[in-house]
Amino acid sequence: MRVPSYLLRVRLDDRPGSLGSLAVALGSAGADILSLDVVERTSGYAIDDLVVDLPAGAMPDTLITAAEALDGIRVESIRPHTGLLEAHRELELIDHVAAAGDRAARLQVLVDEAPRVLRVGWCTVVRSAGAGLQRVAGSASAPETQPDSAPWLPLAAAQALDGTADWAPQLWRDMDTTLAAAPLGDPHTAVLLGRPGGPDFRPSEVARLGYLAGIVATILG
């Protein structure tokens, strides 16, 4: 039986020993920590993503209980994790995009691999087409329901979007999908990320998306 993995996003008071205490607490709950990424660090606290394995049959709620029993630690989200663990995810994605054939193939590689790299549910590339919106490419996990318009285009820089706005399909809103987008080569074309159920995109994650989209745009020419 495959051991289930989970992606745990936690907010910790930025003080010595807090991460070690969290590791001990999760270990006591039966978790095996596979990786840790610092998502954001500001004055007073840090946001970390941890990928953990749980024994077969163990409930992920035990991770929340163990973590939040500690002072200064709050679990922002927990969701199944199925991606491979790789040390330099962005660089490998960029290499894969560059190695693909034509522009269409490169865009498909981008949307297929971005969810794993950026830890989101789905990714599409969209382009404004007159008063409407055209989906140029989408990951296998991207919802079939697409918005009819995108009032946030043209887009000058990467930003988090309001997933509760009227332009977002009702299905997206029902699933509490948080959204972020970045221009891809021109202000009328964008990489759009969706994270059903949250959490919200942190400024550091938006900046990371903008950086990645900028490099990919250069490759696309």
pLDDT in tens, 85-132: 444 577 788 889 999 989 999 999 999 999 988 889 999 999 998 778
Nearest 10 degrees: Cα torsion 179, 38, 84, 78: -60
What pLDDT was estimated at residue 4?
A: 80
Confidence of residue 207 (pLDDT cuts 50, 70, 90): confident
What CATH superfamily is the domain 5-80?
ACT domain (3.30.70.260)
Region of residue 87 (phi > 0: left; psi between -120 and 50: alpha; otherwise: beta): alpha
Looking at residue 58, its pLDDT comes to: 86
Same fold, 5-80 and 89-220: no
- Is the peptide bond between 154 and the residue preceding it cis, with omega within 30 degrees of 0? yes
Secondary structure of the chain in HEC code, one letter for each residue: CCCCEEEEEEEEECCCCHHHHHHHHHHHCCCEEEEEEEEEEECCEEEEEEEEECCCCCCCHHHHHHHHCCCCEEEEEEEECCCCCCCCHHHHHHHHHHHCCCHHHHHHHHHHHHHHHHCCCEEEEEEEECCEEEEEEECCCCCCCCCCCCCCCCCCCCEEECCCCCCCCHHHHHCCCEEEEEECCCCCEEEEEEECCCCCCCHHHHHHHHHHHHHHHHHHC
- pLDDT tens readout for residues 61-79: 999 999 999 999 999 999 8
The label of the residue with tokens 């021109």 reads: 186
CA dist., res. 212 & res. 182, Å (int):
9
Whether the predicted pLDDT of 83 surpasses 70: no
Residue 195 pLDDT > 70, yes or no? yes
Q: Where are the domains of the chain?
A: 5-80, 89-220
Cβ within 8 Å of residue 49, ≥6 positions away: 7, 8, 9, 36, 37, 39, 119
pLDDT band at 84; cut points 50, 70, 90? low
More confident residue, 179 or 101: 179
Summarize pLDDT for 131-178 with one digit per residue, the tens. 789 999 999 999 999 998 999 999 999 999 999 999 999 999 999 999
Instruction: Give me the phi and psi of 167, to 5 degrees please.
Output: -70, -25
Contact at 8 Å (CB) between 112 and 140? yes
Which CATH number is 89-220 given? 3.30.450.40
pLDDT of residue 124: 97
| Res 85: pLDDT | 47
